[in-house]
Amino acid sequence: MRKQKAPAYTDRSQSKLRRPKNDSKSKAATTPRPSILNDKKFFLEWRDAYAFLPAGLALLTSLNTVYNGFVHDDLPQILNNPFTQDIANLPLAFTGSVWSVFSDNIRAAMDVYYRPLFNILLILNYALFGSSAWAWHLVNVLIHAAVSLLVFMVVKEISGRQWLSLITACLFAVHPTHVESVAWISGVTDPLMSLFFLAALLFYLRYRRNGRVLMLIAALASYLLALLSKETAAALPLILCFFELSDKMEAAFSKRLQRTLVTIAMFAVPTGLYFFLRYRAIGNMLMGTAHVAYPVGTVLLTLPVVVAKYLWLLSVPLGYNFQHYTSLVDSPADIRFLAPFALIIGWTLAVVLIKSNMVKLGAIWFIASLAPVMVATRFFHPISLVQERYLYLPSVGFCLVAAVGIEWLWNHRNRISHAIALSLLLVITVGWSWVTVEQNETWRNTITLFQRCVIANPRSPLARTALSTAYHVIGKKREAEDEAHMALDLDSTCIDAYVNLAYFARSSGNLGDAIDYLKQALSTINDDPEKLAYRGILHHDLGLVYEESKDFESAEQNLLKAIEYRASVPNIYDLGGFYFDRGRYEQARDLYEDTFRKINPRFFGVIYLKLARTYDKLGQSEKARPAYEKYLELHPNAKERSEVLRRLSQL
């Protein structure tokens, strides 16, 4: 068993003591001065019950979310999802991605988010609460409260400083950037992941302190559960490496490096298991096939402004909403690169120069836990480059740095600094709480969500198009068209507005207008990487509209161009459908077989039916029969069941 250790991480001011010159001063010289926040003369005596204050604040500031309904992605994931509504599907949660349960949708079948514990939570919630939205929201609130308590426990285990831990956890509990993760039912992935992430860290820190193997096993198991909740939990080994390399209790760097390598090896086991399960389930290790990828150089030039926006959202409680559009940067001479890059360099130098290990830990925590999101930015639309929910775990590092600053003010041992410290703590806590409670109202329903985007960014055309879509879903067609036209008034090159108007026209039977809108959208495309990504989408949509209007030559040309610009599986599949409907079965077969090779057919069983019918038309009954049978195996209650059985009896 390892020998007992001190708190995992201490500041230099508390760990470096002068050598005593005589016995009379020995005791004072060898005992670290307690933080002024623990001194009864200047502050309240510590009570164990104070540890539950962060959880209480989390409950108080988030409880009004129980009046909200199902919003945005909640509708397809919960209310309109047969998979979630059947508790017998619990074991199947590990066999697919988040969206692949919609087996009649080729785009959902290509989903790359493997989060089985999230799906399990949805299934259990539905079994317990059905469509009672208030109960679903209450679960989110309770998870957030538990995470806030764990923040206190982890910081206390790291620093040994109770009041620092309490301030950090209280600030975390009320931070307004958490509204998206707590008030949105589908946003629970980050709190759920953080729950297991912090538990894993706590168990590991206790293992370092007492050497109990049971603590290590609990840490590894919790880490695996965190990964199965959301892939960004992969940041934990980075934070643990920082702990080991910076351990002041071990002077020899070689020993610290050795322990770091051992830690990496131990946590590589659950990491490898996660990727094994992920590959077995969805056949994809990373999310590189999820979206159109922007050039690496463009992404690297854009990252500084993304990081700066995240720091702004953490620091200034203004402008919170579901959209934070971030245009791509394509030149190192662009002020959008130079200004945030200079700010980041300045912040980095400040962290290095400040004589506080807690500040360094907070900075490393922020960067490490945000790193997985930064890696994935290459595949995000500019409207999704910055998302408030991605700050849920990184905000722990920010709140720790803020708490260190407040503690530093208090430790000046004079009434003015005490008054400033207390006032600052109260103003921040009350202010953030007020903003959080108010922001919870934003998530009342999908309309209020996107109305808030318009209020926060009235000049944003994408805020208008999002609200336009929300209006159309609930049948407010006139309002939907008005918002789309307003988006074009703000930006005549807004492709999303043209796409919306084309969809509205097509759904009303005005195919000519739909074609005109899509052609106008194509005419706005230039060399901008963001615009170029739309070419395949627009040609695909044009192809489908032309097919519907019986202009088959134009339909084929556009569907082929869609594949030329974006050779995605859905585009290939839809072209196969076009050829099948035209009686060009050999071409349809080739495209369907290509689709089959590139997807996991278990999540898109319809491909078996498409192949079976194509083989059947080509007279290849030896291939058609097993394809029909496999389709019925995957879809025993399919509406085509009687037709398929009849055809099987004839083969």
Please give the angle made by the CA atoms of 414, 419 and 422, to the nearest 5 degrees. Answer: 120
pLDDT of residue 9: 58
| pLDDT-derived band at 17, boundaries 50, 70, 90 | very low
Radius of gyration of the chain (CA): 28
- Cα–Cα distance measured from residue 204 to residue 263, given in angstroms and rounded to the nearest whole number: 10
pLDDT of residue 230: 94
The pLDDT of residue 604 is above 90:
no
Higher pLDDT, 335 or 532: 335
Structure confidence by residue, pLDDT tens digits, 421-469: 899 999 999 999 999 999 999 999 999 999 999 999 999 999 999 999 9
| pLDDT-derived band at 345, boundaries 50, 70, 90 | very high
Cβ atoms within 10 A of the Cβ of 187, count? 24
| pLDDT-derived band at 618, boundaries 50, 70, 90 | very high
Structure confidence by residue, pLDDT tens digits, 67-86: 999 999 899 889 888 888 88
The pLDDT of residue 31 is above 80:
no
pLDDT of residue 603: 77
Higher pLDDT, 305 or 636: 305
% of the chain exceeding 90 in pLDDT: 65
Structure confidence by residue, pLDDT tens digits, 251-303: 677 888 888 899 999 999 999 999 999 888 777 666 544 445 678 888 899 99
CATH homologous superfamily of 583-651 equals Tetratricopeptide repeat domain (1.25.40.10)
% of the chain exceeding 70 in pLDDT: 90
pLDDT of residue 10: 54
pLDDT of residue 343: 92
CB 495 within 8 A of CB 523: no
The pLDDT of residue 18 is above 50:
no
Q: Residue 581 has which token pair?
A: 């409907």
Higher pLDDT, 297 or 6: 297
- Cα–Cα distance measured from residue 352 to residue 614, given in angstroms and rounded to the nearest whole number: 66
- Cα–Cα distance measured from residue 54 to residue 401, given in angstroms and rounded to the nearest whole number: 17
CA dihedral 136, 139, 144, 145 (to 10 degrees): 140
Query: What mean pLDDT do residues 571-599 have?
Result: 93
Higher pLDDT, 27 or 113: 113
Q: Residue 507 has which token pair?
A: 């759904």
CB 450 within 8 A of CB 470: yes
> Which residue, 312, 371, 377, 359, is CA-closest to 339?
312
Query: What mean pLDDT do residues 481-491 have?
Result: 96
CA dihedral 32, 37, 38, 43 (to 10 degrees): 140
Structure confidence by residue, pLDDT tens digits, 124-163: 999 999 999 999 999 999 999 999 999 999 999 999 899 9
Q: Residue 534 has which token pair?
A: 């739309």
Q: Residue 138 has which token pair?
A: 């209450």
DSSP H or E segment with residue 373: helix 357-376
Query: What mean pLDDT do residues 630-645 have?
Result: 87
In 3-state terms, what secondary structure has residue 48?
helix
| pLDDT-derived band at 183, boundaries 50, 70, 90 | very high
Entry pTM: 0.88
DSSP H or E segment with residue 198: helix 189-210
Residue 215 has φ and ψ, to the nearest 5°, of -65, -40
Q: Residue 155 has which token pair?
A: 């910081």
592 Cβ neighbours under 8 A, 6+ residues apart: 573, 576, 580, 607, 610, 611, 614
- Cα–Cα distance measured from residue 47 to residue 573, given in angstroms and rounded to the nearest whole number: 64
- Cα–Cα distance measured from residue 304 to residue 310, given in angstroms and rounded to the nearest whole number: 10
| pLDDT-derived band at 362, boundaries 50, 70, 90 | very high
Residue boundaries of the structural domains of the chain = 48-440, 458-566, 583-651
| pLDDT-derived band at 102, boundaries 50, 70, 90 | low
CB 180 within 8 A of CB 321: no
- The residue type at 21: K
Q: Please tell me if the domain spanning 458-566 has the same topology as the one spanning 583-651.
A: yes
Q: Residue 342 has which token pair?
A: 């200079």
Structure confidence by residue, pLDDT tens digits, 209-267: 888 999 999 999 999 999 999 999 999 999 999 888 887 776 677 888 888 899 999 99
CA–CA distances in Å: residue 103 to residues 82, 188, 325, 424, 635: 11, 24, 32, 53, 9
Mean pLDDT of the chain: 88
- Cα–Cα distance measured from residue 182 to residue 418, given in angstroms and rounded to the nearest whole number: 33
Structure confidence by residue, pLDDT tens digits, 373-383: 888 888 888 88
Handedness of CA 603, 609, 611, 612 (dihedral sign): positive
pLDDT of residue 288: 47
> Which residue, 637, 644, 583, 645, is CA-closest to 614?
583
Tell me the fold of 458-566.
1.25.40
Structure confidence by residue, pLDDT tens digits, 523-575: 999 877 777 778 999 999 999 999 999 999 999 999 999 999 888 889 999 99
In 3-state terms, what secondary structure has residue 217?
helix
pLDDT of residue 286: 64
| pLDDT-derived band at 415, boundaries 50, 70, 90 | confident
